[in-house]
Structure 1
Amino acid sequence: MIYNKVLIFSDNPFLLEKLLEIIKEKKIDKLINFKIASSPFSNIMLGSLKVEKINIIDNLDYLINNFNLIISAHCKQIFPSELIEKVKCINIHPGLNPFNRGWYPQVFSIINKLPVGATIHEMDDEIDHGHIIIQKEVQCHSYDTSETVYNRVLEMELILFEQVIEKILNNKYDITTPVSDGNINLKSDFNEICNIDLKKDYTGQEFIDLLRALTHGNYNNAYFYDEDGNKIFVKISLQKENYENKF
């Protein structure tokens, strides 16, 4: 295999664990010594496995000198140009590039109706922008929340990873160029939509879409301020009608 010094960099414990399971099932770990790392602000525990905490900027020389392939799996740090130029960097991205690149693609796909899915791509010096190795769209239903769409995307990421990991390690994969630069959403854009303006006019569809886009498990995302200045968090519960359970 061409790439034999591999680091998987992730801030998502579920995804990291599942990726390692795929590697073990394929017995790739018998041929390559994979190392795993997370960002300093993450708290990932995977049993007896050591997850090294690495600040990319502070450890740039270490990464360049010790790895020839780095796989980013929901790593929340920006990869600098110097690292991308000297080490092959692959990104597992929870979005259908080039649509809604950046933060929380499924959130913005619910709002702006652009496609959502999973993409594995080469990294370049722009966010979620490089040549596409493989990608697949997932469905987004009217009764989905951010969480349910995200879980569907996670499942697809694992399916795609299983299909191409050996091709990536052998550098024998095809690439396609994104159809356009698409659009990008930053963390500041997400923070802005979380603050619900009670004086703004919404259609019923727009308001429901906003709330379900910001509803994600136990996270407190959407909020407004009441007349006393209290910050009030709000979520939505959606359920598809089940005729068997009707009175």
Structure 2
Amino acid sequence: MNIGFIGSSGSFSTLALQYLLDSEHSLSFVACDGCSNDSRFPIINDSVESLAMQYGITCINLEQPLAKVLSKLKSQVIDIILVACYGKKVPQEILALPLWGCVNLHPSLLPAFRGPVPIFWQFKEAATLGISLHTMTSHIDAGAIISQKSVSLEDGLSQQQIFSQLIQAGLPLIEQLLDDPQQALQNAQQQDERLASNMSYPIASDFAIDCAWSCQRIFNYMRASTHFQQAYSVLLNNEIVFLSRAISYQMKLPQETITLADDEIIIPCSNGFVLAQLSV
């Protein structure tokens, strides 16, 4: 099968692309923002562009005018396009090109947590984590669900570690689709719009923490979103305190707020406490 891939420089995209490169399928092209196919220009290590160049795969820059992108894509034989963590809307003209259409690997249990940063919101709301493979339409993350799987993770993972485990859970979904795309697409189920949540990119106020949450929830949320480099705010003794990262947690009886040496602070929670670093 001839597969096209659309992604970004993030680890979610690169892990999905590496799977395709290691599979028995033929990869027709890789597309992302900024692909140049020119070794004179530096590229991001471990990006989809760098992987494409390593394997000699055509890399198409999606920032070019659409007509130019379409001209390059129409020169390729494309049975299906897999999209993983591409942060923009894919034009309808591209969606219509492949024989079996375009599918997206999305890190949430759709229709919940549509949008560009579902991991942030799932940890913020202590929701069940998961991954979905769905068809692509003119509406972002709203296509029919081909397959999905819930995922349980250990505590304290970074976003990159979370992506790695979600991709591992998603690989069998991709494999099942590629084995029999006709059957998989025929069995795809439309999403229930009544259950849909469309989430935006977080702003500063979204990084507020509630001491009524469990210590485990606070710890995992902070560890999963540290890469945003945004201070977390928490109300302690009628004063707003800003934190930079979570260090550890313990499930003990709540206690008073204690500021320790080296700008560390103990945050009392509903069922224990979190040791965190103060933001400077």
**TM-score normalized by the length of structure 2:** 0.64
| Aligned equivalents of 1:146, 1:193: Cα separation in 2 | 21
Aligned to 1:36: 30
From 115, 126, 136, the counterpart of 2:139: 126
Aligned to 2:220: 212
| Aligned equivalents of 2:225, 2:20: Cα separation in 1 | 23
Structure 1 or 2: more strand by fraction: 2
Fraction of identical pairs, as percent: 16
SS at match of 1:157: helix
Q: CA deviation at 1:175?
A: 0.8
Q: CA deviation at 1:206?
A: 6.9
5 Å-filtered alignment, 1:75-90, equals 75-87=86-98, 88-90=101-103
Report how many residues are paired.
Answer: 216
What are structure 2's unaligned runs of at least 5 residues? 36-42, 234-241, 252-280
User: What is the identity, as a one-letter code, of the residue corresponding to 2:28?
Assistant: F
What are structure 1's unaligned runs of at least 5 residues? 226-231, 242-247
5 Å-filtered alignment, 1:57-136, equals 58-59=65-66, 60-62=69-71, 65-66=74-75, 67-87=78-98, 88-136=101-149
**Runs of 4 or more off by more than 6 Å in structure 1?**
none
Q: CA deviation at 1:216?
A: 4.0
Give CA-to-partner distance per residue, 1:167-200, whole Å, 9 cap, x none.
22xx23121112335101122xx2334655xxxx
CA 57–213 in structure 1, closer or farther in 2 if over 3 Å, else same: farther
Q: CA deviation at 1:40?
A: 1.3
For the aligned residues, what is the CA RMSD? 3.2
Kept in 2: contact 1:6–1:71 (CA 8 A): yes
**TM-score normalized by the length of structure 1:** 0.72
Aligned to 2:55: 49
Aligned to 1:221: 229
| Aligned equivalents of 1:150, 1:207: Cα separation in 2 | 23
Kept in 1: contact 2:29–2:60 (CA 8 A): no
SS at match of 2:104: strand
| Aligned equivalents of 1:238, 1:177: Cα separation in 2 | 41
Greater relative contact order, per chain length (Cα 8 Å cut-off, separation 6+):
1
Confirm whether residue 235 of structure 1 aligns to residue 235 of structure 2: no
Kept in 1: contact 2:103–2:134 (CA 8 A): yes
User: What is the identity, as a one-letter code, of the residue corresponding to 2:91?
Assistant: P
Aligned to 1:191: 203
CA 218–206 in structure 1, closer or farther in 2 if over 3 Å, else same: closer
Kept in 2: contact 1:194–1:223 (CA 8 A): no
| Aligned equivalents of 1:49, 1:240: Cα separation in 2 | 47
Kept in 1: contact 2:126–2:217 (CA 8 A): no
Q: CA deviation at 1:238?
A: 3.8
| Aligned equivalents of 1:166, 1:62: Cα separation in 2 | 29
CA 118–191 in structure 1, closer or farther in 2 if over 3 Å, else same: same
Larger-Rg structure: 2
Confirm whether residue 13 of structure 1 aligns to residue 14 of structure 2: yes
